[in-house]
Structure 1
């Protein structure tokens, strides 16, 4: 009897108190303050949710928009799961009452933009997931109030631009996922003030250029992924500015143009104690044509030798040309001088006669 009572107390159970007023099509678990409305073909957020709700699961429904009243008075909410819906619009002030929310999942929806006041009220949010949507840009106004955020995932979108300083209000951010977007360059100021950032994934974009000062403020960075982009060269200063205890860098899958300068850059990076190229032995050359497909590691020792030999040949050729020119000039000078002397001698002989 006692054992059965204990099991009953520990197991999840539906709310039986009418004050809880569990919405139709949802399950309300008293022991965990969980409200589960998953996979019910809901077109809108149910009304009259229990005020004590700690976790709200609305995944796999047909929600298309979030209204200002959608989560009204859910002051206790800590986790809100909205993934795998059809959400196209987040109305202004939709999250204004969620001051204690810590995790928000909007994965796999149809969002093309985040409203300017998206982050207003989300001062306790620690994890924001918005992957696999249709976002085209990120702005500072949309993210500025996320002062507690530690993880931001906006991967697998259509991001072409990130506003300068878009992340500057995220001083506690540790993980930033920007992979599988359409970014074509990294400008200075993108990651300004992210001194606690540990993980930065920029893989699978179209990045072809990186400003030298891009990573200057990332003093805690442990992993930087730049693989599968359009980089063909790097500047050593870009990475020497990473003043971290230890940073692992991934750069495979880029169309590297293998030359002596590239070899020098990777050689310098490998000589810096706190920088580590994890996939150096997987790098292949996209150019020049004679090295296409070759492993950089297998040809790097030949690159500067070949370049040095070429420079040496050119130098010798120029030197020989200069010497030949000097010799020819000297010969012409002597011939001209001899001719002048002969003419003078001829004049003297004529006068004597």
Structure 2
């Protein structure tokens, strides 16, 4: 016979419940089982709530007024943490220490954060997506991304970044998407993107870029490059020569000088078989308003080989020149100033590719898909619909994205990946009080009513 002390546990197992789901839910939060989820969004919380069950795998704290993140506030079983759109000003460097299972961390839209310690994300060996958009960041400390070998999506857009030091992304050997648009970057050096051999999309539009050296030499898998709305007057053709997989290129809204220094870029376009925006000449006067791509050899009849070589040399700086240029600023173009600019539409947006083993580069295993992992709308954005279209359905939230834009680019279908990839388990996202996996939220009163009824039956 089964002992009475064991009958309660057996009854709960038969009913599909587990004992650890009976842990109390934090005040003003809603909890879901399987996987254990705690949703405390939009509750005007000023700190991390107490009483979060230790077994929680997903914690949603977005749209509150939380100001600090400290060590010991999160459990080591956590897989997903959303804490975007708060008032975070300080993150203890040990806040995420020991969270070896964490896969997605969204700290975006914390506009007063402004700085991070170099070791903040160390040890997050399974992290796939890191969101640091709209955090007021002025700089990235050396080594901040060290050890993040499984990171595939990095969101750094809409900050105040002016400069990216060499090898800052060196450890991100599986990164496929890098978003850097809407910052104040003014130059890209030869080793800025070194090591990003699996990168698929690089967005650098709406910065202050004036000089681009051979920054793209490792990006042999890159299919999408956005450089529109910068301050580029020239771009050497050899800066793009290594982009053998490039399919979509946007260079419009730059003050292009179509003199002899533009000859190498014109030559590169003659060999390029992908889709690109227009490259409208601003000077010289006789070519003003014409598209560089539509020029002919006759337009460069007075150019010599030495002038083309001069183009590359003018983009080479000494260390002292780097320091002097670092403090040089150009007016940053806002979204309002570019409402009427042509935009390009991407209907097929990615989901997480297959997890790759740390420290092993797997060329070509960028398993992007057209399916959306989540279908809930991310709130808390203050951007105007006219300026940024919220259509980027990625990882459970619709991010303000510049992918869906209208331009004169002809969209083409990306080539199929030949390598088969095993998809990750889909994480269903609660929206407010949305039920998880069809199981209603746990209510303490109903649970105790079941227990009382069960004991009455046993007796």
Deviation (angstroms), 1:218: 1.3
State the Cα distance separating 1:122 from its structure 2 match: 1.2
Greater relative contact order (CA < 8 Å, ≥ 6 in sequence): 2
**Alignment match, 1:43:** 46
Indicate how the Cα distance of structure 1 residues 75 and 236 shifts in structure 2: closer, same or farther if over 3 A, else same: same
2:219 equivalent in structure 1 = 218
Q: Which residue of 1 aligns with 2:194?
A: 192
Q: Tell me the equivalent position of 2:122.
A: 120
Matching of residue 66 in structure 1 with residue 69 in structure 2: yes
Alignment of 1:260-275 (within 5 A): 260-272=260-272
Question: Relative to 1, partners in 2 of residues 1:264 and 1:300: Cα closer, same or farther, differing over 3 Å?
Answer: farther
1:89 is aligned to 90
Report the CA distance shift for 1:17/1:285 in structure 2 as closer, same or farther (over 3 A). same
The Cα shift of 1:293 comes to: 3.6
Alignment of 1:1-353 (within 5 A): 19-71=22-74, 74-109=75-110, 110-212=112-214, 214-242=215-243, 244-272=244-272, 276-279=274-277, 282-297=278-293, 300=296, 303-305=299-301, 307=302
2:424 paired residue number: none
| Distance apart, 1:199 and its partner CA | 0.8
Contact 1:248–1:278 (8 Å) recurs in 2: yes
Deviation at 1:96, TM superposition (A): 0.8
State how far apart, in whole Å, the 2-side matches of 1:192 and 1:265 are.
22
Of 175-184 and 118-127, deviating more is 118-127
- Structure 1 unmatched ranges of 5 or more: 1-8, 309-353
Q: Deviations over 1:86-112 (max 9, x none)?
A: 111111100013210111111110221
C-alpha RMSD of the superposition: 2.3
Q: Give the 3 Å change call, closer, same or farther, for CA 267–111 of structure 1 in structure 2.
A: same
* 3-state SS of paired residue (1:270): helix
**TM-score, normalised via structure 2 length:** 0.59
SS state of the match for residue 130, structure 2? strand
Give me the whole-angstrom Cα distance separating, in 2, the residues matched to 1:228 and 1:240: 22
Counterpart for residue 315 of structure 1: none
The verdict on how the C-alpha distance between 1:245 and 1:161 changes in structure 2, with shifts beyond 3 A counting, is closer
Once the two structures are TM-superposed, the CA of residue 256 in structure 1 deviates from its matched residue by: 0.3
Q: Is the 8 A contact 1:89 1:111 kept in 2?
A: yes
* 3-state secondary structure, aligned to 1:76: coil
> In the alignment, which residue of structure 1 is the partner of 2:367?
none
2-structure distance, mates of 1:40, 1:253: 42
C-alpha separation between the residues in 2 aligned to 1:86 and 1:289?
50
Distance 2:151 2:49 in 1: 27
Q: What displacement does 1:146 show? A: 1.4
**Structure in which a larger fraction of residues adopt helix:** 1
User: Displacement of 1:31 after TM fit?
Assistant: 3.9
Give, in whole Å, the separation in 2 of the partners of 1:188 and 1:18. 53
Say how many residue pairs are matched: 288
Other structure's SS at 2:240 match: helix
Q: Does structure 1 conserve the Cα–Cα contact (< 8 Å) formed by 2:238 and 2:264? A: no
CA distance in 1 between partners of 2:64 and 2:299 (Å): 58
Gaps of 5+ in 2: 1-14, 304-459
Secondary structure in structure 1 of the residue aligned to 2:143: helix
